[in-house]
Amino acid sequence: MTQQTRPNGTLRHLLTLEGMSKQQLEALLSRAQKFVKVPGEPPTHKRSLTGVTVANMFTEPSTRTRVSFELAAKRLGADVVNLEMQLSSRVKGESMLDTIYTLEACHVDVFVVRDAEAGVPGMVASNVQPHVCVLSAGEAHVAHPTQGLLDSLTILQAKKKFDGLVVAIVGDVKHSRVARSAWHALATLGAAEIRIVSPRGLAPEASEFAGCERHTSIDTGIAGADVIMMLRIQKERMATAAIPDADRYFAKFGLSSERLAKAKPDAIVMHPQPMNRGIEIASDVADGPQSVIRNQVSNGVAVRMAVLEAVIEGRQS
């Protein structure tokens, strides 16, 4: 596994939240909180990344992660290049590493990598020059570390603490990098109970999510929960025959307002998006008073500013 930290203890890469200490996670959340703005307030603009070049390299589609990494880098004064992978020389057969070496020769300092294949962000991190940093923007079903951080920040803002919280992670956990990164973060930050709530066919292996409660009914899974984290059905990671029927899925596992009433009255509803409205979640819940889904998006920019600043600051110390 690629080392994420430098010998001086500073963060160099961010590939996974697994194994990060509570102190490291809290430091990133605290740094991110400083970048959070209320709606209507102008965003922070700083020059802490002046002279730094960030390359966004996404081989899977993205709206939130790609845009927020770009905005985060620009708001800190970095130069940003968004490589359109389908228009790049990758389609002529150039390897990922030759693409990386080419961009390194153009003085790219930070690679933001999303890839459908497990291991790609780590492979890139193992092959870049010592001053270069790699940030995972989503690795197969394995990890989405900045999503785990923004989810944690959103929970902290709403609940003011992690201790004692009951968190239900609901839906297609099997294929979800969001669920894995949320679990790694929330277990370390002190959530009391993390429930994995999924239909049998979409449940992760028994060897995964150690210490979590398992539920195959959403009704028992969200009962008394403080936080309900709904997940998208990851059709792109399933054989066509395995994709659940939309109506049947909503009837059995969709979060409706009737079901939401089983959670604590002040429970918050999360979803990493993109959402399949009417399949995983009813629109009146997604847009309702308990939803913090748009806060998650706003926090995504703040978290990515924090991570970019941390890895570049650490390079200078």
For the chain, the farthest-separated pair of C-alpha atoms sits apart, in whole angstroms, at: 56
Interface residues for ligand CP in 194-233 (CB under 6 A)? none
DSSP lists the bridge partners of residue 227 as 167, 268
The nearer residue to ligand CP, 64 or 90, going by C-beta atoms, is: 64
Least spacing, CB of residue 273 vs ligand CP, in Å: 5
Least spacing, CB of residue 291 vs ligand CP, in Å: 15
The nearer residue to ligand CP, 135 or 315, going by C-beta atoms, is: 135
273 belongs to the binding site for ligand CP (CB under 6 A): yes
The nearer residue to ligand CP, 75 or 315, going by C-beta atoms, is: 75
Q: Which residues are CB-contacts of 171 (< 8 A; sequence separation ≥ 6)?
A: 197, 198, 202, 230, 231, 232, 233, 253, 280
Please check whether residue 110 is in contact with residue 312, taking contact to mean a CB–CB distance below 8 angstroms. yes
**Residue from 234, 272, 291, 305 in contact with ligand CP (CB under 6 A):** 272
How many residues are given for the chain? 317
d(CA 102, CA 97): 8
Interface residues for ligand CP in 2-31 (CB under 6 A)? none
Residue carrying the six token digits 């819940």? 285
Least spacing, CB of residue 157 vs ligand CP, in Å: 18
Q: Which of 142, 154, 315 is nearest to 234 (CA)?
A: 142
Q: Which residues are CB-contacts of 222 (< 8 A; sequence separation ≥ 6)?
A: 168, 170, 197, 228, 255, 259, 260, 262, 263, 267
The nearer residue to ligand CP, 65 or 136, going by C-beta atoms, is: 65
d(CA 192, CA 63): 32
Least spacing, CB of residue 309 vs ligand CP, in Å: 20
Contact code string over 148-187 relative to ligand CP, x by CB under 6 A: ----------------------------------------
The nearer residue to ligand CP, 173 or 315, going by C-beta atoms, is: 173
DSSP letter assigned to residue 244: P
Contact code string over 48-87 relative to ligand CP, x by CB under 6 A: --------------xxxx----------------------
The nearer residue to ligand CP, 69 or 315, going by C-beta atoms, is: 69
The nearer residue to ligand CP, 244 or 272, going by C-beta atoms, is: 272
User: What's phi and psi for 310, nearest 5 deg?
Assistant: -65, -45
Q: Which of 41, 127, 37 is nearest to 113 (CA)?
A: 127
Q: Which residues of the chain form contacts with ligand CP (CB under 6 A)?
A: 62-65, 138, 147, 272-274
